[in-house]
Amino acid sequence: MNFLQMILEALESLAGNKLRSGLTMLGIIIGVAAVISMLAIGAGAQASINNSINSIGTNLIFISPNNEATNPKPLTAEDAAAIKASVPSVASVSALLQGRVQVSVAGKSKSTTVMAVAPEYASLRSLNVTEGSFITPAMIEARSAVVVLGPTVAETLFGRTENLTGQVVRLGSQPFRVIGVLESKGGSGFGNQDDQVIIPLTTGQTRLLNRTPHDRVDQILVQVASSEQVTRAGNDITALLLDRHHRQVGSEDFSLLKQQDILNTAQSITGVLTLFLGGVGGISLLVGGIGIMNIMLVSVTERTREIGLRKALGARRRDILTQFLIESAAISLVGGAMGILLSWGIVTIIGQLAVSSGTALIPVINLDAILLATVFSAAVGLFFGIYPANRAANLQPVEALRTE
């Protein structure tokens, strides 16, 4: 008996018990669909987080106060100016203050984030305005009462994001003139960049976000000219601030966080999440394999006389073994193919639900996930088919023919 005949007979045998074969495949279908869907969700989450981190800018270093240090000195705008003047690899610097404020106009109000920043902040965070302009050096110098609105704030207060330049809104109890509206960037786990208002740093220091001492800032953002220079720039900034704050190495009253560190941490977390989700799907596939072994054992029992007759007519042990292995592999492969189609439908539905709910998650089915699930399902079919196939192959013809 050649291999093609074995395949045809195996398929004929499965077709003879359509309901039982279908129910056996169901475990593989669900398992493969679960593996691919879970991996797709994990890949989509990782891509979403990476995009969110990259959307805040590139080659960034975040400098924050370390309040756990002994007698810490505050970060100041002068520290930011010194970094810009003294570290050659630095492309741009902005000190900032951050807080919450109630923005209101004509009876409408909204609580939102207020950022007091320097003009360089726009390039640091890759911000663009759809109309008007961003903060300028002249506004910093004059401590102007001007504000750039995020699109979410503009939509809430005015019901639109256009033709707002020159409008007056109140931040707290103080009037501010709108000079621009930010381009939408969407929300993320790192904060909704559309739900904020931006004012000049000096205006925030004197009128809205008072700090002690007066020139203290909450954070300094530094953009390095290239990713290759980030480590060197971090070392230079550390040395500069240690000197300015009269601190020793190991007693820093500030902390540096590189954008790549955030990205690496996020990738590590999502990698573990993806592995966990894939493992959950793999368990489903394992359960499906046990179902295959169970049904193949039943098939061996039912076909004992058939096996004895085949062996009596000259079928070799290898022929019987191969036939039953082909049957179990066929169940797993056909189930795997149907599982791939089911996973595509599941991922499509999840993607549509994410879009409709405003969630930045687009599941991504990778070819690697399809190959992994397909190979794993075939391996499961063969592994769990070995024992029933071997049991069938070891039957003695005389004993098999006597079986009622």
Residue appearing with tokens 């500069």:
240
User: Are 44 and 363 a contacting pair, CB within 8 Å?
Assistant: yes
Residue 325 is predicted with a pLDDT of 76
Residue 139 is predicted with a pLDDT of 95
**Confidence category of residue 376, pLDDT binned at 50, 70, 90:** confident
Least confident piece of the model among 169-183, 211-225, 306-320:
306-320
Write the pLDDT tens digit of every residue in 69-107.
Answer: 888 888 998 999 999 999 988 889 999 999 999 999 988
Write the pLDDT tens digit of every residue in 197-215.
Answer: 999 999 999 888 888 788 8
Q: Which helix (H) or strand (E) holds 182?
A: strand 174-182
Residue 190 is predicted with a pLDDT of 46
Residue 295 is predicted with a pLDDT of 73
Specify the pairing of strand 60-65 against strand 219-224: antiparallel
Q: What is the mean pLDDT of the chain?
A: 81
Q: How many CB atoms lie within 10 A of CB 25?
A: 25
**Confidence category of residue 112, pLDDT binned at 50, 70, 90:** very high
Range ranked top by mean pLDDT from 12-21, 146-155, 385-394: 146-155
Supply the pTM of this predicted model.
0.63
More confident residue, 330 or 113: 113
> Above 80 in pLDDT, residue 323?
no
Residue 141 is predicted with a pLDDT of 93
Mean pLDDT score, 384-396: 70
> Above 70 in pLDDT, residue 265?
yes
